[in-house]
Amino acid sequence: MQQQVLYTSNVNATLSTIIEGGNYNAVMVLADSNTRHLALPQLPCLENATVIEMPSGEASKTLDTLTGVWRAMQQCGATRHSLLVNLGGGVVTDLGGLAAATFKRGIPFINVPTTLLGAVDAAVGGKTGINFMGFKNEIGAFAPACHVIVSTTFFPTLPEQELKAGFAEMLKHAMLSSSESFFHLLDTDFSCINYDTLLDQLRDSIKIKEDIVRQDPHEQGPRKALNLGHTVGHAFEAKALADGHPIPHGYAVAWGLVTEAVLSHLILNFPSHQLYALASFVKSNYGAFHITCDDYPHLLDIMRHDKKSLAGEINCTLLHSCGDYSINNTISNDDITAALDIYRDLVD
Ligand SMILES: NC(=O)c1ccc[n+]([C@@H]2O[C@H](COP(=O)([O-])OP(=O)(O)OC[C@H]3O[C@@H](n4cnc5c(N)ncnc54)[C@H](O)[C@@H]3O)[C@@H](O)[C@H]2O)c1
Ligand SMILES: [Zn+2]
């Protein structure tokens, strides 16, 4: 099923039109403990909806929470003609999407992302899931929402760190798209965000993800482009977690993008002016993830065991330049070591 992504500065009007046109016998809204208070009151069209609340944060993306949502849907008599509205960040849209996709073999759902990461990544693309037995997104389904309503309305209450985390995924999309989109994003000043400009940039950014996902909905090939920045980023994220100092995923992606831009420069001649512009933006807005040479063996080991790597080889998406990407590059130990050295020179 094709999902429709709608962009609006009036979420209530857009949502209310969809609900009125849908002839649903029940409307439910899944929110977390933050979005229930920060976002739900801005949507009077959901006044009569059954509210299902889940605790906020990654720790609640579990089978227990999912069971609670199924139970609540059953208790309010939901059928295949009922609608679930997922109102929240990636945790709510991932878990709520799975709840809707599995309840009575699937009921319609709408994603209303309230975080930038949710809007640019989690709520679009049709992947749902929960964490299981210590593995992230271990249980899930490809299940697109009928509609995704994208707006910047809810972002003013987002902590700056959450905004920056989502922005890193936008940077990734821009680098896959064109140098023009890339440099446009680098003009962003997080101390005075223009939410109208951000909505326009989100539209461009989501379109890039949609184009890639459309070519490869079940992640067999071209969708690997979206892994840009993530081979190294995941290694930074996993190392930080193992050291007991977790870092936000988006920050890991920002530092991963710099390192993979260095690799792209070394291997595919990625232009140095694009590399320096990226590194300088990341350094001033995200700071640095500190590593030393002693950390390299651990980082390389994580990269070799990344689920995208085949036969223990490190696999990356790289760029000839912004907008011209190449998937499935096998990276040698020497190249990754050189790239980590240069990352430290540029950012650390
Ligand atoms: N399905 C996919 O393709 C996909 C892609 C990327 C990420 N994800 C998943 O998304 C999740 C991360 O998403 P996230 O960063 O949105 O996390 P999140 O949903 O936990 O939201 C982050 C925090 O912000 C709060 N929040 C939400 N909206 C707010 C608002 N408007 N104002 C103030 N606070 C608000 C939340 O309550 C939470 O505490 C991860 O579980 C990740 O696996 C999925
Ligand atoms: Zn990511």
- CATH 3.30.2130.10 is held by the domain 4-157: no
Q: In this structure, what are the phi and psi dihedrals at residue 61, rounded to the nearest 5 degrees?
A: -85, 65
pLDDT (tens digit per residue) in 182-233: 999 999 999 999 999 999 999 999 999 999 988 887 777 888 999 999 999 9
Task: Quote the pLDDT of residue 286.
Answer: 98
Q: In this structure, what are the phi and psi dihedrals at residue 17, rounded to the nearest 5 degrees?
A: -60, -45
Q: How confident is the model at residue 1 (pLDDT cuts 50, 70, 90)?
A: low
Pocket test for ligand 1, best of 92, 94, 216 (most atoms within 8 A of CB): 94
Question: Is it the case that residue 95 has pLDDT exceeding 60?
Answer: yes
pLDDT (tens digit per residue) in 250-284: 999 999 999 999 999 999 999 999 999 999 999 99
Q: Measured between alpha carbons, how far is 107 from 109 in angstroms, rounded to an integer? A: 7
Q: Give the SS3 label for residue 219.
A: coil
Q: Measured between alpha carbons, how far is 241 from 259 in angstroms, rounded to an integer? A: 19
325, 327, 324, 300: which is closest to 314 by C-alpha? 300
96 to each of 58, 126, 341, how far by Cα in Å? 13, 12, 42
If you measure from the C-alpha of residue 169 to the centroid of ligand 2, how many angstroms do you get, rounded to a whole number?
Answer: 6
pLDDT (tens digit per residue) in 102-126: 999 999 999 999 999 999 999 998 9
Q: Measured between alpha carbons, how far is 223 from 302 in angstroms, rounded to an integer? A: 22
Q: Measured between alpha carbons, how far is 44 from 39 in angstroms, rounded to an integer? A: 10
Among positive and negative, which fits the CA dihedral 244, 249, 253, 254? negative
Cβ < 6 A, ligand 1 pocket: 32, 34-35, 38-39, 56-58, 61, 88-92, 94, 114-115, 117-118, 121-122, 125, 127, 137, 154, 157-158, 162
Percent of the chain topping pLDDT 70: 99
DSSP per residue, 283-335: HHHH------GGGHHHHHHHHHTSTT-STT-EEEEEEEETTEEEEEEEE-HHH
Query: Where are the CATH 1.20.1090.10 domain residues in the chain?
Result: 160-346
If you measure from the C-alpha of residue 226 to the centroid of ligand 2, how many angstroms do you get, rounded to a whole number?
Answer: 8
- CATH number, domain 160-346: 1.20.1090.10
Helix axes 296-304, 230-242, angle to 10 degrees: 120
Q: Whose alpha carbon is nearest atom 44 of ligand 1? A: 122
Q: How confident is the model at residue 311 (pLDDT cuts 50, 70, 90)?
A: confident
Average pLDDT, the chain: 95
Give the number of the atom of ligand 1 that is nearest the alpha carbon of residue 127: 1
Q: Whose alpha carbon is nearest atom 6 of ligand 1? A: 122
Question: Is it the case that residue 307 has pLDDT exceeding 80?
Answer: no
Query: Residue 145: nearest ligand to its CA?
Result: 1
If you measure from the C-alpha of residue 272 to the centroid of ligand 1, how many angstroms do you get, rounded to a whole number?
Answer: 33
Pocket test for ligand 1, best of 117, 127, 137 (most atoms within 8 A of CB): 117
Query: Where are the CATH 3.40.50.1970 domain residues in the chain?
Result: 4-157
